[in-house]
Amino acid sequence: MSPEKSLKVSVLASGTGTNLQALIDQVHGREGIEIIGVASDKPDALALDRASSAGIETASFPATNYSGDRIARDAALADWLRSRGTQLVVMAGYMQIVGPAFLDRFPDAVINLHPALLPAFPGIDAVSQAISYGVKVFGVTVHFVDEGVDSGPVIMQRSVELPDAREVDDVLPHIHAIEHQILPEVVRLFARGAVRIASTHPRRVLVGPLAVLPER
């Protein structure tokens, strides 16, 4: 994405949409970035209300509409996103796995926010996993989505030391604060054309000035 072009972003969310709100507040309508759609697997997700309040088009794709056929739902979701000109898909608390056919529709353009320092603690309840393990450092990862579970190449990570954390509620406010910073930052980098996967290493993501310099 070159700096002089706009970036059309669609967001997938299943819950309250606080990270969607961070994107609306910090990047929507700024620096050539436009959030053009928000979709959910939950018709009653608060994220959809947040989008509607901001004048952003919404849609829901509940599993019951597709008889549990994930491939059919992925296809319908991808059609909806593509029909609106989506260039970057942001999974912000979207509690569904998208399959390879979906990813093929948006090559190197689907990213996810995960509340742990991957590759540690993938999947659900990442903060609980980390507390049970006894870690002293928690964090957030934004990564490309691949066919695995939270296994795609890492774009950006940020951490916080919480050596005395014993409960999820000890950690979540710190995690949310990082999420609301890091996700808009990554979207801005995409809009500037400053994120790409290195041709010499499929798991190395070049970010910022490195993305426009020759690879080594």
In a domain, 48, yes or no: yes
- Average pLDDT of the residues in 68-76: 94
Count of domains observed in the chain: 1
Q: What is the DSSP string of 11-76?
A: EE-SS--HHHHHHHHHTTTBTTEEEEEEEES-TT-HHHHHHHHTT--EEE--GGGGTT-HHHHHHH
In a domain, 166, yes or no: yes
Give the CATH number for residue 154.
3.40.50.170
In a domain, 42, yes or no: yes
| pTM attached to this predicted model | 0.93
| Cα distances (angstroms) measured from residue 182 to each of 11, 15, 31, 142 | 15, 19, 16, 8
Question: 158: helix, coil or strand?
Answer: strand
Q: Is 114 known to be catalytic?
A: yes
Edge-to-edge order in the sheet of strand 137-144: 58-60, 33-40, 7-12, 88-91, 110-114, 137-144, 154-161
pLDDT tens string 112-124? 999 999 999 999 9
In a domain, 216, yes or no: no
Contact 149, 97 (CB under 8 A): yes
| The two three-digit tokens of residue 92, written as one number | 């912000």
C-alpha 124/C-alpha 136 separation (Å) is 20
Q: What domain range is 129 assigned to?
A: 7-211
In a domain, 62, yes or no: yes
In a domain, 1, yes or no: no
Contact 38, 93 (CB under 8 A): no
In a domain, 37, yes or no: yes
pLDDT tens string 81-98? 999 999 999 999 999 999
pLDDT tens string 170-184? 999 999 999 999 999
Q: 24-33, 61-70, 115-124, 136-145 — which is least confidently predicted?
A: 61-70
Q: Which residue has the tokens 């599993």?
A: 63
Q: Which amino acid is at 103?
A: L
In a domain, 2, yes or no: no
